[in-house]
Amino acid sequence: MSTNSNFEQPTVVMGCQCALVSAGYLAIFAVAYRLLTSIWNIVGPYVLFSPIDLKKRAGAGWAVVTGATDGIGKAYAFELARRGFNVFLVSRTQSKLDETKKEILEKYQNIEIRTYSYDFTNAAVSGYQDLLAELNQVEIGVLINNVGLSYEYPEVLHKVDGGIERLANITTINTLPPTLLSAGILPQMVERKAGVIVNVGSSAGANQMTLWAVYSATKKYVSWLSGILRKEYESHGITIQTIAPMMVATKMSKVKKTSFFTPNGEQFVKSALNTIGNAADTTGYISHQLQLEVMDLIPEFIRDKILTNMSFGTRKAALRKREREAKSQ
């Protein structure tokens, strides 16, 4: 009995050593794979790959842009017009639509611009049916689901500025348009076996953002929806992309100063359009992608702490500004 035990003990030890070595190699492989994936996500779409022929991929000459009179949406409208697309502008205020149409046509005379005034806080199916009836009068090659709504400043759910009306509007505007407009325009793209849909989300959807509950959750919805639609329509020749930017200097972000990490709308959109067909889910801008990949490499509990501190810092600064403005009145 003692002799057999002496032979078994080294075998057990060697087995444990082999398991530990294998686990070590697997851990190294996992880390290396994650680092290489991060590098590829930055270098591939933004450095190595050439932009695709967007007109060919779209298969039609019209582009629809929602939230088209400000910020990223307006920049998309201008850049698509520059690339030779006719543009269907959709936004809430007709006077701003008319002004944007005038600005585009002054710069690009060889295209056609149509407008449709729609308040996306209106969740009525009849409203969307009327809108889609107008949009489907033209052959749509590109749909930019850009319209969105955020908080005035970060806050816990029950104290959000604007109360439950604001929360309802954020939920409605950030989720219904990409869902219903995609569903209403996809039939003509499927028939044509060509088309591009870009759903503009936010990097806030990549993490569970403290003080941004509804905004973060609805932007996660945009990403999730886009990923599923890609699986459903990849066999139909349709390109569906999620763009999840970080900070862009726009009216919505309340940031005016640009930098390497904060492009203006025009800079951002030129970059984002060049990633279509080369990246299915990306931030749209190389410095944003760099930030996202670095954040993803940080352990979750540390990342959550960093993001939470940033949210509370933004909230504190916003409340101080409000207090100063109230005192000056």
- Classify residue 20 by burial, with Cβ atoms within 10 Å: 0-12, 13-18, 19+: exposed
* CA neighbor of 152 nearest in space, from 326, 319, 313, 16: 319
Q: What's the distance, Cα to Cα, between the start and end of the chain in Å?
A: 94
* CA neighbor of 283 nearest in space, from 297, 298, 263: 263
In a domain, 278, yes or no: yes
In a domain, 41, yes or no: no
> 115 pairs with which residues across the strands?
89
What's the CA gap between 277 and 150, in Å, rounded?
A: 28
The whole-number pLDDT of residue 99 equals 98
pLDDT at 5 over 60: no
Identity at 236, one-letter amino acid code? H
**Could you tell me the CA-to-CA distances from 135 to 67, 116, 143, 179, 218 in Å, in that order?**
15, 9, 10, 15, 25
What are the two backbone dihedrals, phi and then psi, of residue 121, each rounded to the nearest 5 degrees? -75, -15
pLDDT at 292 over 80: yes
Structure tokens at 56: 């060919």
Q: Is 221 a catalytic residue?
A: no
Structure tokens at 234: 């990849």
DSSP annotation of 50 reads: P
* CA neighbor of 151 nearest in space, from 141, 165, 134: 165
Taking only the tens place, the pLDDT of each residue in 277-290 is: 999 999 999 999 99
Q: What is the mean pLDDT of residues 251-262?
A: 83
Tokens 């509950």, residue? 213
Taking only the tens place, the pLDDT of each residue in 102-145 is: 999 999 999 999 999 999 999 999 999 999 999 999 999 999 99
What's the CA gap between 57 and 239, in Å, rounded?
A: 8
What's the CA gap between 227 and 280, in Å, rounded?
A: 8
* CB contact at 8 A, 150 and 314: no
For the question of whether the overall pTM of this predicted structure is more than 0.95, the answer is: no
Strand order in the sheet with 86-91: 113-117, 86-91, 62-66, 140-145, 195-200, 238-243, 281-282
**Could you tell me the CA-to-CA distances from 129 to 164, 176, 183, 322 in Å, in that order?**
26, 13, 11, 41
Domain around 92: 50-313
How large a percentage of the chain has pLDDT more than 90? Answer: 84
> Which one of 118, 128, 151, 215 is the catalytic residue?
215
Q: What is the mean pLDDT of residues 199-216?
A: 96
What's the CA gap between 314 and 161, in Å, rounded?
A: 14
pLDDT at 4 over 60: no
Q: What is the mean pLDDT of residues 187-191?
A: 98
* CB contact at 8 A, 41 and 290: no
Tokens 């002496």, residue? 6
In a domain, 7, yes or no: no
SS3 60: coil
If one counts the domains in the chain, the total is: 1
The beta strands (E) that lie in the chain are given as 62-66, 86-91, 113-117, 140-145, 195-200, 238-243, 281-282
In a domain, 2, yes or no: no
Taking only the tens place, the pLDDT of each residue in 8-37 is: 556 655 666 777 777 777 778 777 888 899
Give the domain CATH number at 306: 3.40.50.720
Cα-based torsion angle of the residue sequence 172, 178, 181, 183 in order, rounded to the nearest 10 degrees: -110
In a domain, 276, yes or no: yes
The whole-number pLDDT of residue 20 equals 74
The whole-number pLDDT of residue 7 equals 47
